[in-house]
Amino acid sequence: MKRKKAIIFGITGQDGSYLSNLLLKKKYQVFGITRSKNRKNLKSLDKLQVTKKIKLLEVKKLSQKIIDQIIKKLNPEEIYYLAGQSSVSYSFEDPIDTYLSNNSGLFYILESIRNQKKKTHIYNSVSSECFGNQKYNLCNEKTDFNPVSPYGRSKALSFWLSKYYRENYKIKVSNGILFNHESILRNKNFVTKKIVNFVKNYKKSNKKENLYLGNIKVVRDWGWANEYVEAIYKINSNKISGDFVVGTGKAHSLYDFIKIIFKKKNIPLSRIKISNKFVRPNEIKKTVANNKKIKKVLNWKPEIKFKDMTLKLLQDELF
Ligand code: GDR
């Protein structure tokens, strides 16, 4: 049987790595676009032992010409756009890079598919950051965007870009509006990894350090990354393209996360210190998903609960 082809832009990140693994299990031929094949950059793919099973294409800078050539040559059934600048805090420092990296590649892909008249399904990774602060906290596909960070605004633009191509050119492009999702493949810039790393070092070292964090009162909808790539796959392989919110529907503060981990490892909460260095210029106070649509239309349901997720992060990292 002919194997389906998928191209993943941003294959070396947390979601790209888990998605590669999933698509390989589903017998896809997986192609990945990456800026660098440097071993350090491939550590998540290596950890999942998938690097040798995928075809990596090194592209230093995306352009319309390069994307046209890649799509023409590979003629993929599916494209996943997971590339770009994914740190909300960094987006305050470099909003232009955030805007460009989260949109230009996607724009080239959409133009290429339109010009080459392909039937390729495209997935674009959007973010709950687009919702910003809402009067009613549960956000669904109909909730108006109100982003408070450059990152959120860049993702909102990518959402509208995809929607425009779907509605005006009948391109089969879907948006997944993903809430926070964690795993051991998280980069250390993200808060769950930062906390787990602290615990790991605290237990090892005799010198007891403090952990400096920003706003720990924030409330988020946290899920398990491996389950979220299932959602991404379901969204993009569905016959009808559309927009889907992906989250658990449950709200927890960052402090809840810290309390579970510190209690488990017997670390006093007094070790937590608040530092302005990590407080963002602007921030969503609380954001939670209404995931009714994806449950009903695609039969996707997250199984891993917040406490299990927290303990799993700790366990997977320590052992
Ligand atoms: P986020 O993830 O910005 O929500 O974006 P992150 O883990 O960075 O922050 C989560 C919350 O924790 C608060 N926080 C801190 N965050 C970091 N990184 N470091 C700290 O020291 C710290 N102290 C408190 C933050 O203010 C924030 O409220 C993630 C990314 O994966 C995005 O790409 C994705 O789109 C969204 O989730 C949904």
Q: Are 268 and 315 in contact (CB under 8 A)?
A: no
137 C-alpha to center of ligand 1: Å?
A: 18
The answer to whether residue 319 scores a pLDDT higher than 60 is no
Q: Cβ(93)–Cβ(151) under 8 Å? A: no
pLDDT number for residue 261: 95
Q: Is the CB of 148 under 6 A from ligand 1?
A: no
Torsion-angle region of 41 (φ positive above 0: left; ψ -120 to 50: alpha; else: beta):
alpha
Six-digit token string for 67: 């994307």
Residue with CA at minimum distance from ligand 1 atom 37:
180
pLDDT bracket for residue 112 (50, 70, 90): very high
Q: Which atom in ligand 1 lies closest to the alpha carbon of residue 254?
A: 12
Per-residue pLDDT tens over the stretch 46-69: 999 999 999 999 999 999 999 999
| Residue 107, CA atoms < 13 Å, CB-side half-sphere | 15
The bridge status of strand 272-274 relative to strand 243-246 is: unpaired
Whats the size of the chain, residue-wise? 319
Tell me how far apart the alpha carbons of residues 153 and 129 are, in angstroms, rounded to a whole number.
8
**pLDDT tens-digit map of 188-231:** 999 999 999 999 999 888 778 999 999 999 999 999 999 999 99
Residue 210 CB neighbour total at 10 angstroms: 12
Amino acid at 56: L
| Six-digit token string for 152 | 């959120």
Give the Cα separation of 196 and 179 in Å (integer). 20
Atom of ligand 1 nearest to the CA of 125: 35
Q: 77 CA distance to ligand 1 centroid (A)?
A: 33
